[in-house]
Amino acid sequence: MFESRQKVISNTYPIWKYLLLAAAITLSAIYAAPNLFGDDPAVQVSPVKTVEFDQSTVDQINATLSQAGIEPKAFERQPEQFLLRFHSTDDQLKARSLLKETLGRQAVVALNLAPATPDFLSALGAQPMYLGLDLRGGVHFLMDVDMEAALSKTYERYVDELKSVLREERIRYLGLTHKSDRLLLRLRNPEEVTQTLNVIAAEFPQTFEPRANEETGEIALPLLAQVKSETRKYALKQNITTLRNRINELGVAEPVIQQQGDRRIVVQLPGVQDTAKAKEILGATATLEFRLVEEKGDARRAERTGYAPNGARLYHFRDGRPILLKRSIIVSGDNVIDAKSGIDQEAGSPQVSVTLDGAGGRKMLATTKDNIGNRMAVVFIENRVDTIEKDGETIKKRTTTKDVINAAVIRGQFANRFQITGLDSPQEAQDLALLLRAGALAAPMEIVEERTIGPSMGQDNINQGFLSVVIGFALVLVVMAMRYKVFGLVANVALTLNLVIIVAVLSLLQATLTLPGIAGIVLTVGMAVDANVLIFERIREELRHSSIQTAIHAGYEKAFVTIADANITTLLAAIVLFSFGTGPIKGFAITLSIGILTSMFTAILGTRAVINVLYGNKPVQKLSI
């Protein structure tokens, strides 16, 4: 009876399991490898909208660097941008300043750290993990959006619109004011309350929750809860869009701008060490102006001579084309409430739908009524502060740019809602809508938390984090080898493979590694041998009353339920941390979750495969455990 069972339990794997393990090891080694090659200090050169780089741009960049005696390590032409790698950070900083001066407004020049991944790994899609702010250095801001101001702005907008509607319907009123969380309308004739309510319901459906007093003729108009919620969401989303547009345009590489909670925004600017500069970037003022085009003058001549006709000013499109605009401003960006890109249903061409406030609508109506057939231009104005290095000194250069982003023919009179057509592509329409919306923040913001992390501190964090992983890993290796001998060495191989798989998965996901993430990896190193300890102790117990092959089989089979229970409960805790935690806690939860799954794979499948090769189906007299 015993001999029959000994033949059945041979402890061998089917070939597909060995192939699965081999594939996992190979792929993990490939996708973890890019993290060994580090980064090169680099400068990223991207064209501004409507500008295209060609060979002349390449020649201009090369000539600029050559004259300064700077030899780039590599010059890579990527889709829609250039990436220049350098041998040192000194060359990187000098090149950034030189290229900013040379290319001017044609390009955005940003500092970057480019992965030094070999081409054969890049061809396989293998890329290193991103490093978080605490490892790379930079500036962190937590910004609070003033939602009360956003709601107040919405109420003020409805004041103008309601006045226009009441005027059109010839409803006489004594006053319409904004009082805290409502509008208060006082009618001249209390008998017109019902008529007024019907007009408001028709013109502003699902907007207000009217409360009328028919005796006094007063109507309170608080916004519906849904409208308030949408207003808050819009303000938060719009501010995020505005900040992202400003930061991208001002050349900060790989910024992190994300929502936190229902009214806060996290802004992380890697590589930026000057808090004052970061505040200048976030507070950069941008606005818009709508002006009529001066059709009678010659823009080319004005550009050559430097003189514009009376009542006109010379402007330029983003691609450098000159255009003459009238001095008087129709409306500015402060009057723009919303802008959305879309498709003109009649012509099938791209368009942008713009919504102005009441004051802007009245001015636009008066202007378009008398200028049908003429062109109207949209001017984007931005005040920028560029920091450049010249002769070893840091210089702040303040510039104001005024670019014409569109000049379209007025086809008919319109007021606060109109469409801008004549655009070349849907992408141009999206860009225009973004610029229109990004002219001003939807609501004021206050910086409630700011932190600056230096690059040396970030490197110290990397070194200390790496050291903690190495020390923890080495201690586990020594204890396991001393305690379980050959089986302990097998567990050490599995633990090494576990670390490689974790790094490979994080790299594949292009996750951002932070200090809490390193803490999760260190914790995983300690927990990963838990499963092996349970298995090995079970095998020792089974050896007292079973054969060697039976003990190995029973050790893995009977310990599996305990291992699964322990890891599943920890995984559930990690999922809860990820669901309800914020940035650092999420980073810890992600690495912990990945570590739990990979440790189960390596501890159960990996070590079993090696043990099967060493002892499976062999006449073993004694186990080294």
User: 126, 33 in Cβ contact below 8 A?
Assistant: yes
What is the arithmetic mean of pLDDT over 247-269? 76
Give the separation between CA 296 and CA 610, rounded to whole angstroms. 86
Distance of CA 101 to the CA centre of its chain: 28
Helix (H) or strand (E) holding 256: strand 256-260
User: 274, 267 in Cβ contact below 8 A?
Assistant: no
What percentage of residues in the chain have a pLDDT greater than 90?
3
Kindly list the domain boundaries of the chain, sorted by start residue: 2-35+454-615, 39-116, 148-225, 285-451
Q: Decide if pLDDT at 141 tops 80.
A: yes
Closest listed residue to residue 98, CA positions, set 78, 137, 72, 80: 72
CB-based burial label for 138 (10 Å; 0-12, 13-18, 19+): buried
Q: Comparing 297 with 245, which gets the higher pLDDT? A: 297
Res 7: pLDDT: 46
Give the separation between CA 199 and CA 99, rounded to whole angstroms. 60
Q: What are φ and ψ of residue 43, in 5° steps? A: -125, 125
What single-letter DSSP state applies at residue 48? P
Tell me if 148-225 shares its fold with 285-451: yes
Res 47: pLDDT: 79
Res 607: pLDDT: 87
Res 315: pLDDT: 92
User: pLDDT per residue over 309-342, tens digit each?
Assistant: 887 889 998 778 899 998 888 887 767 777 778 8
Q: Decide if pLDDT at 24 tops 50.
A: yes
At residue 434 the predicted structure's pLDDT band, cuts being 50, 70 and 90, is: low
What is the arithmetic mean of pLDDT over 276-282? 61
What percentage of residues in the chain have a pLDDT greater than 70?
85
Give the separation between CA 147 and CA 554, rounded to whole angstroms. 63
Residues listed for the chain: 625
Q: Decide if pLDDT at 388 tops 70.
A: no
Closest listed residue to residue 442, CA positions, set 239, 265, 160: 239
Q: Comparing 8 with 548, which gets the higher pLDDT? A: 548
Q: Which residues pair with 313 in a beta bridge?
A: 325
User: 487, 543 in Cβ contact below 8 A?
Assistant: no
Q: Mean pLDDT highest for which of 26-35, 94-103, 386-395?
A: 26-35
Res 53: pLDDT: 80
At residue 438's C-alpha, the angle toward residues 434 and 443, to 5°, is 135
At residue 167 the predicted structure's pLDDT band, cuts being 50, 70 and 90, is: confident
Look up the CATH number of domain 39-116. 3.30.70.260
Q: Mean pLDDT highest for which of 70-74, 243-247, 322-326, 394-398?
A: 322-326
CA distances from 146 to 31, 394, 473 (A): 44, 35, 48
Res 293: pLDDT: 92
Q: Which fold has domain 148-225?
A: Gyrase A; domain 2 (3.30.1360)
Q: Which residues pair with 82 in a beta bridge?
A: 45, 77
What single-letter DSSP state applies at residue 224? P
Q: Decide if pLDDT at 30 tops 80.
A: yes
Res 2: pLDDT: 42
Q: Which of 27-36, 106-115, 278-287, 345-354 has the lowest mean pLDDT?
A: 278-287
What is the arithmetic mean of pLDDT over 479-494? 87
What's domain 2-35+454-615's superfamily in CATH?
A: Multidrug efflux transporter AcrB transmembrane domain (1.20.1640.10)
Q: Which residues pair with 218 in a beta bridge?
A: 186, 213
DSSP per residue over 527-553, as a string? HHHHHHHHHHHHHHHHHTTS-HHHHHH
Give the separation between CA 112 and CA 53, rounded to whole angstroms. 20
Q: Which CATH number fits domain 285-451: 3.30.1360.200, 3.10.20.90, 3.40.50.10860, 3.50.50.60?
A: 3.30.1360.200
At residue 422 the predicted structure's pLDDT band, cuts being 50, 70 and 90, is: low
What is the arithmetic mean of pLDDT over 68-84? 83
Average pLDDT in the chain: 80
